[in-house]
Chain A
Amino acid sequence: MMDSIILGFQEVAHWQVIAALLIGAIAGILVGAIPGMEPAGAMAIALPFTLTMEPLPGIILLLGCYGGAWYGGAIPAILIRVPGTPVNVLTTYDGYPLAQKGQPMRALSLAYSSSFVGGIISILALIFLAPFMAKIAAKFGPPEFAAVMILASVSVVLAHHQNIRGAILTFGIGMFLGTVGFESPHHTLRYTFDQTWLLGGIPMVPMVIGLFALSQAFILLETKSPPKVPENLSSTGRFVGLLEVFKYRATVIRSSLIGLVMGLLPGVGEFGAQFLSYSLARRFSKKPEEFGKGSPEGLVASEVSINACTSTVLVPLLSLGIPADPLMAMLLAVFMIHNIVPGPQLFVEHADFISGLYISLFLLNIFVMIFLLIFTKYVVRLSSISPRVIGAAIMILGFIGTYTQNFRITDGLVALAFAIVGRFMLKNGVPAFPMVVGLVLGPMMEGRIKQAFSISDGDPTIFLTRPLAAAFLTLAVVAVATFTWNHFRNKTVEAS
């Protein structure tokens, strides 16, 4: 254990890692603090630059954008009642009324400390769960990997229960886009139509920049300015709020567990976790009537659960090599460009990287916490920046991001095409996340399924005769059956 910790610190003690950690964390906080910007867009813009870095700094930069944003998102949610990121919507419920009672710093520092506790618990869970999952995954062959990918696909689709048909449609289209280019085992071309730029497939970087950054920029360019934040932020209650989280130990434990489990489920993540956590916190609270009117417990429930997801979402990626959402798909791209294959062997062959990752995640949370406690009064001013200024800047940053990977103008055109598609999807509630997951997961699934059929001489019963594969497929079928049953039962209740 001590060896791993020392190894981790050795990995982190490089200026590139420390710089990536600081830049990523600050970028994440700023992204969260500016309403309208989302971590996915920031990660998409940062992705091309991380591909040229060493793996650990690259991953940490992206994780900084991701983790820092959930902390920063609480700032506008509490001060101006506008969630900094979509997952901070419940933070407005109790954070804003608490701030209106004259203690904005108490509310903010309570949100920070709750996020910190959730984040640290999440890292501890990652440290214990990922190697355990990897040991199980070491027994996997192609049928098991194929089956677990099918289960992950089902989870991603079912997570979009509000528009399940749209999710299946876009997931399928994403998987189809993943088939463009070279295929194996016959080494032929699919859907390239003699276009050389399509030989390597639909490029992921321009696609995610278009779908998540440029489409967001289109909307920001049409958005009116948010309300002004208070000019003079009183620091009263800063330390009261910081320690207050420990008064709600039961809520912290419950919300953490919910966050950890939700983080493990592909596609579910922070949004599902906070709703369940908030609703249970209210149910078990001694003062449920205060929820929605400035209850510190409600704020704790929301923030702890959001950040408890942030590291466990890495478990499926690190142990199985399965990206559960587009953010993980971007991390997978960084792994792949450096020939680091996530999965069971990662923990054996790259133990130094894994130790470094764990230590970096701890440091990331500590740095973000300290940074926010010191600089909150400056960061809050960013919440008032005109979204149109941000949108215009994203357009240029998006171009830089698409261009720098291959120095190809066509990548800019691909990004533009996906920006229009993404804008249309956002406008009409068509989920874009499944499309990116499909693009990344599709080729992996195709490869594993074909391998499974190869080793069984084309016999499909291999998926049923191998216990683990059969178990994963059974879980997938049960999940679909349960969802379908609930769906029709609800329809019947509504009709009657």
Chain B
Amino acid sequence: MTAHVDHIPTAADAETPQFEDDVTPEAASTAGTLFWIFAAFALILLPFATVAGKRPLGWIQEPWSWPFIVLIVALFGGGGLVLDCLRLRRNPGFSAKANEAFAGMGRSFAYAAAFLAFIGGVGLIGFTLASILFMQILYYMSGLRGAKWSLIGLAVTVAIVLAFRVGLGIWFPLPPIMLLFPDWVGNALGEYL
């Protein structure tokens, strides 16, 4: 979203690109094409992903009919994006502009991988310890480095844990890591981990 535009706005502005992030037609059509391919793939799977109805109630009542209708709507409605993509492919520099659709996604995948590790960590070392580690990793990855930011990250995590784990009493299973310690450790710290 554009932070500010230096002109007097009118209702027509709602339709101008100034109020959207800059997206090249190549990137937009490439992104649309990917969603279109997903819909097409779902349609191809339709015969294998549904079974015929048990009673003859007419085609509209068949289990396959509604997914078929909505996927056709999606494919027909979004077909123009695919045509755009095919048309724009002839232009020089298409690949570079189309690749802009994925710009920044590498960082997002890195954060997603950290999130995935966090989910796994919750099952292994418990919510609190996993959250502390995850928060520190996120701060480091995003460029918030140094003792000051580490302490801020720790404080934010402790606040979240106190609010949700202790305050609201959200349940998490006792982490397996507790098996490595005497029982009293798990009994004493279980509700905070």
The chain A residues found within 8 Å of chain B, CB to CB, are 49, 81-83, 86, 89-90, 92-93, 96, 157, 161-173, 175-176, 179, 183, 185-193, 214, 217-218, 221-222, 271-272, 275-276, 278-280, 282, 291-292, 386, 388-389, 391-393, 395-397, 399-400, 403-404, 407, 409, 412-413, 416, 419-420, 423-430, 438, 442, 446, 449-450, 453-454, 458
Jot down 16 A-B pairs with beta carbons below 8 A, ordered by A.
A168-B76, A172-B77, A176-B70, A183-B66, A188-B51, A218-B112, A275-B9, A279-B9, A392-B142, A400-B164, A413-B119, A427-B23, A428-B27, A430-B32, A450-B60, A453-B58
Give bound CA distance, A172 to B101, whole Å. Answer: 22
Tell yes or no: B91 within 8 A of A by CB.
no
Closest to B19 in A: A89
Q: Please tell me which one of the listed residues A49, A172, A214, A428 contacts residue B23 in the complex, with CB atoms under 8 A apart.
A: A428
Closest to A407 in B: B171
Q: Tell me the residues in window 26-65 of chain B with beta carbons closer than 8 Å to chain A beta carbons.
A: 27-28, 30-32, 34-36, 38-39, 42, 45, 49-51, 53-55, 57-58, 60-64
Q: Tell me if A179 and B14 are in contact (CB < 8 A).
A: no
CB distance from B166 to the nearest CB of A (A): 13
A residues less than 8 Å from B138 (CB atoms): 221, 391-392, 395
Q: Tell me if B105 and A397 are in contact (CB < 8 A).
A: no
Q: Mark B112-148, 1 if CB is under 8 A from A, else 0.
A: 1001101100110000000100110011011110000
Q: Tell me the residues in window 3-37 of chain B with beta carbons closer than 8 Å to chain A beta carbons.
A: 3-4, 7-15, 17, 19-21, 23, 27-28, 30-32, 34-36
Q: Please tell me which one of the listed residues A49, A189, A424 contacts residue B105 in the complex, with CB atoms under 8 A apart.
A: A424
Q: Please tell me which one of the listed residues B39, B54, B103 contacts residue A173 in the complex, with CB atoms under 8 A apart.
A: B39
A residues less than 8 Å from B15 (CB atoms): 161-162
Q: Tell me if B61 and A185 are in contact (CB < 8 A).
A: yes
Tell yes or no: B111 within 8 A of A by CB.
yes
A residues less than 8 Å from B74 (CB atoms): 168-173, 175-176
A residues less than 8 Å from B151 (CB atoms): none
Closest to B116 in A: A416
A residues less than 8 Å from B119 (CB atoms): 399, 409, 412-413, 416
- 4 nearest interchain CB pairs? A172-B74, A168-B77, A169-B78, A428-B31
Q: Please tell me which one of the listed residues A272, A389, A425 contacts residue B14 in the complex, with CB atoms under 8 A apart.
A: A272
Contact A427 B111, CB 8 Å, known A168-B74, A392-B139, A458-B58: no
Q: Tell me if A427 and B101 are in contact (CB < 8 A).
A: yes
Q: Tell me the residues in window 134-193 of chain B with beta carbons closer than 8 Å to chain A beta carbons.
A: 134-135, 138-139, 141-144, 152-153, 156-157, 160, 164, 168, 170-172
> Number of contact residues on B: which range applies?
35 or more
Closest to A280 in B: B11
A residues less than 8 Å from B139 (CB atoms): 388-389, 392
Most-contacted residue by chain A among B42, B70, B107 (CB, 10 A): B70
A residues less than 8 Å from B79 (CB atoms): 165
Q: Tell me if B70 and A221 are in contact (CB < 8 A).
A: no
Chain A interface mostly helix, strand, loop or mixed?
helix
B residues less than 8 Å from A442 (CB atoms): 66, 70
Tell yes or no: B96 within 8 A of A by CB.
no
Give bound CA distance, A423 to B60, whole Å. Answer: 36
Contact A186 B112, CB 8 Å, known A179-B66, A425-B31, A430-B31: no
Give bound CA distance, A495 to B112, whole Å. Answer: 44
Q: Tell me if B35 and A170 are in contact (CB < 8 A).
A: yes
Give bound CA distance, A82 to B50, whole Å. Answer: 49
Q: Tell me if B19 and A165 are in contact (CB < 8 A).
A: no
A residues less than 8 Å from B112 (CB atoms): 218, 416, 419-420
Contact A429 B28, CB 8 Å, known A222-B142, A395-B138: yes
CB distance from A280 to the nearest CB of B (A): 8
B residues less than 8 Å from A425 (CB atoms): 31
| Given contact pairs A162-B20, A186-B61, A413-B119, a sample of 6 additional A-B residue pairs in the complex whose CB atoms are under 8 Å apart | A175-B74, A176-B74, A218-B111, A388-B139, A396-B131, A428-B101
Q: Tell me if B50 and A169 are in contact (CB < 8 A).
A: no
Give bound CA distance, A295 to B119, whole Å. Answer: 50
Closest to B32 in A: A166
B residues less than 8 Å from A450 (CB atoms): 60-61, 66
Give bound CA distance, A25 to B132, whole Å. Answer: 29
Q: Tell me if A183 and B3 are in contact (CB < 8 A).
A: no
CB distance from B172 to the nearest CB of A (A): 8
Closest to B152 in A: A389
Give bound CA distance, A430 to B28, whole Å. Answer: 7
